[in-house]
């Protein structure tokens, strides 16, 4: 069933989400509203990695 989905494409976008959220924290200047919202985004990115990216490695996608 996994072949019906663009897993490879999703993995690329998930990586980009992580990169962007981490980059946002780097330029936040320590603004709590930015850092803490970025942390929450990164927690959700981790769920996407667990759900999709980690499995893609095993599936060879």
Partner 1 sequence: MKNGEYWNPVLETMPREKLLQQQLKKFKEIFTWAYENSKFYHKLYSDAGIEPGDIKKFDDIKKVPKIEKSMMRSVQGPGKQNFPYGDILSVPLEQVTDYRQTSGTTGQPVYQADTWQDWEFSTEAYCYAMWAQGYRPKDRVFVPFGYNIFIAFWAYHYAGEKLGCEVIPGGVLNTEARILKMQELKATAMGATPTYVLGMAETARGMGIDPIKDLYIRKITVAGEPGGSIPATRKRMEDAWGAKVYDQVGSTEIGHWGWECRQQAGLHVNEGLFLVEIEDVNTGETIEEPGRKGKMVVTTFNRMAQPCIRFDVKDIIQWNARQCECGRTYRLLDGGLMGRADDITKVKGVLLSPMAIEEVVRDIPQLGNEYQVVVTKKGDIDDITLKVELLPEYQKDQAAIKAKLTDQLRLTTNLGYNIEFHPYESLPRSQAKSRRFQDQRPHH
Burial class (CB in 10 A: 0-12, 13-18, 19+), 38: buried
Q: How many CB atoms lie within 10 A of CB 14?
A: 19
State in angstroms the smallest separation of the CB of 49 from partner 1.
9
Per-residue x/- marks for partner 1, 12-41, CB under 8 A? ---------------------------xx-
State in angstroms the smallest separation of the CB of 44 from partner 1.
6
Tokens for 54, please give them.
């980690």
Binding residues vs partner 1 (CB under 8 A): 1-2, 4-5, 7, 39-40, 42-44, 46-47, 50-52, 54-59
């Amino acid at each position: 069933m996994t072949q019906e989905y663009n897993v490879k494409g999703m993995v690329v976008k998930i990586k980009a989400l992580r990169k962007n959220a981490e980059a946002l924290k780097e330029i936040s200047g320590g603004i709590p509203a930015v850092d803490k919202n970025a942390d929450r985004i990164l927690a959700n990115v981790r769920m996407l990695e667990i759900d999709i990216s980690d499995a893609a490695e095993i599936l060879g996608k």
